[in-house]
């Protein structure tokens, strides 16, 4: 169980997240939706310990992660795919993927590069290409595949479909659903594409200016059109 209890997050004096509580069981899928600047990326980074100052407990199976560096959180089974992808430009796709193996453990051994290339067939022809030679969509797919290689318990995806061609979006959604079914992987997905988020998760959380405006099932979300009109429309 991944659990946040009333956390607040800050960048310097800027208060970005306000009393966010969230529980994500193993194998569950939660989408975090909202307009730009509402705090979605900050929420994922707060869980990973990757940027903002966080006040309030982030726990994994009851263990407080507050004092743990990001690489130690990765060893416990968390994997973050940041919005800016962080693909190493002078390493090949295969080499970028292999790096994630260091987050594996004896209890949760990582996949091999070959296994992950089989999961993401669009990447196979790119395995020998260097990061700087990839398009934005190819980099995004490689970043997701790299996180998956570590066989995480909880995959944190930050805006994975932004700027991607429909073919790549469809391929990514198919594989995410297959991975969840195969490994019981929990998913926390920050996303503006509501239909993609719906296809990959069971529960939705709407952020508005760093606070939770709605939390519930997709059926409950659909039953109240005012939620979308109020918080997801420009």
Instruction: Convert the pLDDT of each residue in 140-190 to its tens digit.
Output: 999 999 999 999 999 999 999 887 888 888 888 988 999 899 889 999 999
User: What spatial distance separates the first Cα and last Cα of the chain, rounded to whole Å?
Assistant: 35
Query: Which CATH number fits the domain that encloses residue 216?
Result: 3.40.50.300
Determine contact, residues 26/186, Cβ cutoff 8 Å. yes
What is the Cα–Cα distance from 115 to 26, expressed in whole angstroms? 22
Largest CA distance in the chain: 49
> Among 56, 34, 61, 20, which Cα is nearest to 186's?
61
Residue 139 structural domain:
2-231
For residues 131 and 212, give the distance between their C-alpha atoms in angstroms, rounded to a whole number.
Answer: 37
Whether residue 234 is predicted with pLDDT greater than 60 in this model: the reply is no
Counting the structural domains of the chain, the total is 1
Percent of the chain with pLDDT over 70: 100
**How far is residue 151 CA from its own chain's centroid?**
13
Cα separations (Å) of 123 from 96, 128, 174, 179?
12, 10, 14, 16
Q: Are strands 186-190 and 29-33 parallel, antiparallel or unpaired?
A: parallel
Threshold 0.85, pTM exceeds: yes
Whether the CB-CB separation of 39 and 50 falls below 8 Å is answered with no
């Amino acid at each position: 169980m991944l659990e946040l209890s009333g956390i607040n997050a800050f960048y310097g004096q800027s208060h970005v997240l306000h009393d966010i509580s969230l529980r994500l069981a193993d194998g569950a899928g939660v989408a975090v939706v909202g307009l730009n600047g509402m705090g979605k990326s900050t929420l994922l980074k707060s869980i990973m310990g990757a940027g903002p100052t966080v006040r309030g407990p982030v726990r994994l199976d009851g263990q407080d992660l507050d004092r743990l560096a990001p690489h130690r959180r990765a060893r416990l089974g968390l994997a973050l795919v940041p919005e800016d992808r962080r693909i190493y430009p002078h390493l090949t796709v295969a080499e970028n993927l292999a790096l994630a193996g260091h987050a594996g453990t004896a209890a949760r051994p990582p996949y091999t590069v070959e296994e992950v290339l089989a999961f993401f067939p669009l990447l196979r022809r790119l395995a020998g290409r260097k990061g700087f030679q990839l398009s934005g969509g190819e980099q995004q797919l490689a970043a997701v595949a790299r996180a998956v290689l570590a066989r995480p318990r909880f995959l944190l995806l930050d805006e994975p479909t932004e700027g991607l061609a429909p073919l790549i979006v469809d391929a990514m959604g198919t594989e995410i659903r297959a991975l969840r079914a195969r490994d019981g992987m929990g998913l926390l997905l920050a996303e503006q594409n509501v239909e993609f988020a719906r296809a990959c998760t069971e529960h939705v959380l709407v952020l508005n200016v760093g606070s939770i405006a709605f939390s519930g099932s997709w059926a409950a979300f659909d039953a109240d059109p005012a939620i979308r009109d109020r918080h997801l429309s420009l």
